[in-house]
Amino acid sequence: MPASTSLESFLQSPLNPPYDRSSLTPGIVHFGLGNFHRAHQAMYLDRLLRDGEAADWAILGVGVMPSDTRMRDVMAAQDGLYTLVLKSHGQIEPLVIGSIAGFLFASDDPEAVLDAMTSETTRIVSLTVTEGGYNTDDATGEFKTDSPGAVRDSENPHQPSTSFGYIVEALRRRRAAGLPPFTVMSCDNLQGNGKIAHGAVVAQARMSDPELADWIDSNVSFPNSMVDRITPVTTPADVELVTREYGISDAWPVTCEPFEQWVLEDKFTLGRPPYEDAGVQLVDDVVPYELMKLRLLNASHQALAHLGRLLGMEFAHQAAADPDIQAFIRAYLEREAIPTLAPVPGVDLAAYVDELFVRFTNEVIADTLARLAQDASDRMPKFVIAALRENLAAVRSLTLGATLCAAWTLGMEGTAENGTSIEVDDQLSPELLPLVARQRDGDATAVISNERVFGSLGADTTFVREFTNALASLRENGARQTIETLL
């Protein structure tokens, strides 16, 4: 089917949303309009709109990063419309999402962003700014008040530059105008994401206005949530598929797996969309669900990435289908991850693990190991090292977790076992790569001495022994023989 101009191709498509988008009112301002948000929260809201609900809860996206200029341009050209393509083992299901009513690039017009956030119609400000976007120290959990963005926004609080600076200034203006505060809803892969967002916003406010910080601490709601849907980076092939198969000229479609999950703490100051009608689990306590996801699914992703890349693999489905890697991950989950979990209401953990591998081996998604390994210095502490610390304190096995850490640090040396290169894409590369060089030259504890990632583990004799043994085995014997020996 031939495609016409971008917006026209959407409007002419039978996949176009059936509801009247001109009647939508933004009730949610969202920071971080990336692929995951568009495959997840925006999709749930679109589902409500298709059922005739939540017309006053449309999404206004906001970007504060320089790279968000591309999203600004795409959203403007397509009037917020985009194609969501569900892929599963050879089956493809397209859907055009219409729940995003607009997008603002903050640097273009900061006051427009603040006006939207202080509007009476805005009742939720949500976030998918990645795990690293919360400006917290992995070892202490504290907001980094010395970071350049935090310092800049504390010195110029009325002209913010970061997501948290905008939230603080908008709450200040709402308070001054006598408007009740919006709810801040984090949807990032962090244990206690609402609590972490709470700490970040209050800490940012306290740097410039301690009284405002106290008011935020007492009056603003920060519900915790657990979100789950595998959503890879959009490729040129995805863009071409949407054009070829559906006649839509979409500059930035999103592909994802069919599986979806959102567990949300029902704690909102100014109401919320009827999310339960769209399949969201509204609960009083998210912690068991989020810990399950972080330590089972996300930790498995790290294992796929670091072991798979050592073995020269490119895609998650290749690593997940590999008998040795799958055996390692199942053993790790059973021996070292599940023992750290509390009971999860309504969930059979063995069945959950089995379903993970059905999802991981979905070759149509073609999720890359490079994406899963990106910013591992931020992900490993949350998904693997936190469980490792608990096992260490409880005098339980930590051999497989330490081996996973060793696989990551060995991969950072840049060469797979077959001689191909391993690209390191990590925000802490300037800090870690000199330590990796020392590790390559024989200093086996160089990387684990980094306290920002490993905290005090680099000084713990049990962890050091397990890590250095694993690193030596991976280097000398390779990943397969190491796994066979361990299991």
Contact 51, 19 (CB under 8 A): no
Contact 189, 131 (CB under 8 A): yes
Q: Average pLDDT of 99-119? A: 98
Element containing residue 58 per DSSP (H, E): strand 58-63
Give the pLDDT confidence score for residue 2 in this predicted structure. 39
Strand order in the sheet with 124-127: 100-105, 58-63, 26-31, 124-127, 183-186
pLDDT tens for each residue of 250-299: 999 999 999 999 999 999 999 999 999 999 999 999 999 999 999 999 99
Q: Average pLDDT of 355-382? A: 95
% residues pLDDT > 90 (the chain): 95
pLDDT over 80 at 3, yes or no: no
Contact 262, 174 (CB under 8 A): no
Instruction: Report the candidate in 122, 143, 125 with the shortest Cα–Cα distance to residue 133.
Output: 143
Q: Average pLDDT of 39-43? A: 98
pLDDT tens for each residue of 294-331: 999 999 999 999 999 999 999 999 999 999 999 999 99
Q: Average pLDDT of 200-220? A: 98
List the end-to-end C-alpha distance of the chain, in Å, as a whole number: 53
Can you list the domains of the chain with their CATH numbers?
Answer: 6-283 (3.40.50.720), 287-486 (1.10.1040.10)
pLDDT tens for each residue of 150-208: 999 999 999 999 999 999 999 999 999 999 999 999 999 888 999 999 999 999 999 99
pLDDT band for position 6 (cuts 50, 70, 90): confident
pLDDT band for position 5 (cuts 50, 70, 90): low
Write down the mean pLDDT value for the chain: 96
Give the pLDDT confidence score for residue 83 in this predicted structure. 98
